[in-house]
Amino acid sequence: MSKLLRPAAVAAAAVLAVLGLAACGSTKLKGPQVASQMKSEALAPKGITNATVNCPAETEAKAGAIIECSLTSDGKKGDVTAKFADDEGTLSDYKADVDEIQLALIEQNAEEKASNLSQVDCPSSSKPKKGAIFFCTGKISGSGFGVVIINQTAEDSSVKVRLQKRKLRTSQIERNITKAVKKRGINAQVSCPGTVTSQKGSVFRCSVRNPANGKQITIVARQKDSVGNFDLKVEN
Determine contact, residues 172/197, Cβ cutoff 8 Å. Answer: no
| pLDDT score recorded for residue 90 | 94
Give the mean pLDDT of 226-234. 81
CA distances from residue 145 to 116, 180, 215 in whole angstroms, order as listed: 11, 30, 39
Q: What is the DSSP string of 66-91?
A: EEEEEEEETTEEEEEEEEESSTT--E
* φ, ψ at 126 (rounded to 5°): -65, 140
Angle at alpha carbon of residue 159, lines to 167 and 35, rounded to 5°: 135
pLDDT of 101 higher than 90: yes
| pLDDT score recorded for residue 152 | 98
Determine contact, residues 117/91, Cβ cutoff 8 Å. Answer: no
pLDDT of 184 higher than 90: no
Question: Which one is predicted more confidently, 7 or 205?
Answer: 205
| pLDDT score recorded for residue 23 | 42
- Own/partner pairs, 176-179, CB within 8 angstroms, 24+ separation: 176/232, 177/206, 177/208, 177/219, 177/232
Instruction: Grade residue 25 by pLDDT with cuts at 50, 70 and 90.
Output: low
Question: What region, left, alpha or beta, does residue 64 occupy, with left being phi > 0 and alpha being psi -120 to 50 degrees?
Answer: left
Determine contact, residues 135/126, Cβ cutoff 8 Å. Answer: no
Q: Domain map of the chain by residue range?
A: 27-97, 115-165, 168-234
| pLDDT score recorded for residue 172 | 81
pLDDT of 18 higher than 70: no
Give the mean pLDDT of 76-94. 95
CA atoms within 13 A on the CB side of 108: 11
Task: Give the Cα separation of 135 and 133 in Å (integer).
Answer: 7
CA distances from residue 186 to 52, 105, 192, 213, 233 in whole angstroms, order as listed: 70, 57, 18, 10, 17
Give the mean pLDDT of 40-57. 96
Question: Which one is predicted more confidently, 43 or 6?
Answer: 43
Reported as a single tens digit per residue, the pLDDT across 119-167 is: 999 999 999 999 999 999 999 988 888 899 999 999 999 999 999 887 7
Question: Which one is predicted more confidently, 14 or 63?
Answer: 63
Segment holding 219, helix H or strand E: strand 216-223
| pLDDT score recorded for residue 162 | 96
| pLDDT score recorded for residue 95 | 96
| Torsional sign, CA 27, 28, 32, 35 | positive
